[in-house]
């Protein structure tokens, strides 16, 4: 894997081009290299829009997104794809590619124009990603034959095959059972790269992420370490529920419970 990169966003916003409706109001934060950032907030709060700015799918209406201090819209798209990989909530399952072929697509940004694969190195990286995600035994299966959780792991493996400095995930534990969720979270913590992920589960975010960004209605309610951001006041403001923080023994981890 490559060295992790820092990512920063300065007064970045996004509005719908047709009607100029503001979906994301100006947001600023800086994530140091190698840290995990969780973006949390209610449905419709702008989490996915923010992620799209970070992996250069949407261009900010205002502001700048930088990777290692460089504006990503000042780089060629291929160069950004070599630095930033994304795993989305929805992924296709209706074509006849095998798992290995899908993971191999992650090597595309590293190939010149329509050049062929770089034989030995590409195969090594693809095999590494397959083994890391426990997919090696499924390498010759067609994607359409896999379960939702297995397909999610394939998409993470494809992203890792890009050898990114930054990995962006939109609800990576969506549609996964409890065991798969725990395995995914453990994988994220072990990757040793910069990660930005949207999450619904605040307790998962608190236990997994180094930093969190709490958003509501396209606005930031706070950025920082989970203990500082997940106050009862801020959670109530974001989700319109009352909360209670409990300390679990013997782990001494905090657990958040919710009440209407």
For the stretch 220-247, pLDDT in tens is: 999 999 999 999 899 989 998 766 655 4
User: Which comes out higher in pLDDT, residue 36 or 177?
Assistant: 36
**Average pLDDT along the chain:** 88
Total-model pTM: 0.88
For the chain, what are the domain ranges? 7-259
Beta strands in the chain (DSSP E): 7-15, 22-31, 36-40, 62-67, 70-71, 84-87, 166-170, 194-199, 211-216, 219-224, 242-248, 253-259
Taking CB atoms within 8 Å and a gap of at least 24, the contacts of 248-255 are: 253/206, 253/207, 254/206, 254/227, 255/203
C-alpha to C-alpha distance for 95 and 129, rounded to whole angstroms: 21
Residue pair 65/71 in contact (Cβ under 8 Å)? The answer is yes
User: Which comes out higher in pLDDT, residue 244 or 175?
Assistant: 175
Mean pLDDT of 158-186: 86
- The whole-number pLDDT of residue 223 equals 98
Judged against a pLDDT cut of 90, whether residue 92 lies above it is answered with no
What's 7-259's CATH class? alpha beta
- The whole-number pLDDT of residue 219 equals 97
Mean pLDDT of 247-256: 54
- Residue 191's pLDDT band, with cuts at 50, 70 and 90, is confident
Share of the chain above pLDDT 70, in %: 87
The CA R_g of the chain, rounded to the nearest whole Å, is: 19
Share of the chain above pLDDT 90, in %: 63
Half-sphere exposure of 129 (CA within 13 A, CB side): 28
- The whole-number pLDDT of residue 151 equals 87
In terms of average pLDDT, the best of 21-25, 119-123, 228-232 is 21-25
Mean pLDDT of 24-30: 98
Judged against a pLDDT cut of 70, whether residue 118 lies above it is answered with no
Judged against a pLDDT cut of 80, whether residue 145 lies above it is answered with yes
- The whole-number pLDDT of residue 248 equals 47
């Amino acid at each position: 894997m490559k060295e992790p990169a820092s990512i920063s966003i300065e007064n970045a916003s996004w509005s719908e081009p047709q009607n100029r409706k503001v979906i994301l109001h100006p947001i600023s934060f800086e994530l140091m290299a190698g840290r995990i950032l969780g973006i949390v907030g209610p449905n419709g709060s702008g989490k996915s829009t923010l992620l799209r700015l970070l992996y250069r799918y949407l261009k900010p209406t205002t502001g700048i997104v930088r990777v290692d201090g460089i504006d990503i819209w000042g780089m060629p798209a291929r160069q950004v794809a070599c630095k930033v990989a994304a795993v989305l909530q929805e992924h296709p399952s209706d074509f006849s590619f095998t798992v290995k072929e899908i993971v191999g697509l992650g090597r595309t940004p590293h190939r010149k124009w329509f050049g062929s694969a770089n034989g030995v190195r590409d195969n090594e990286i693809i095999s590494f990603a397959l083994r890391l995600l426990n997919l090696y035994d499924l390498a010759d299966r067609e994607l359409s034959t896999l379960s939702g959780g297995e397909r999610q792991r394939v998409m993470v493996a494809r992203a890792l095959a890009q050898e990114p400095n930054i990995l962006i995930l939109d609800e990576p534990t969506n549609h996964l059972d409890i065991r798969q969720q725990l395995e995914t979270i453990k994988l994220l913590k072990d990757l040793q790269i910069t990660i930005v992920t949207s999450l619904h589960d605040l307790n998962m975010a608190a236990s997994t992420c180094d930093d969190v960004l709490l958003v509501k209605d396209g606005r930031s309610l706070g950025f920082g370490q989970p203990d500082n951001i997940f106050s009862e006041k801020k959670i109530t403001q974001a989700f319109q529920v009352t909360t209670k923080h409990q300390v679990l023994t013997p782990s001494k981890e905090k657990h958040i419970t919710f009440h209407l």
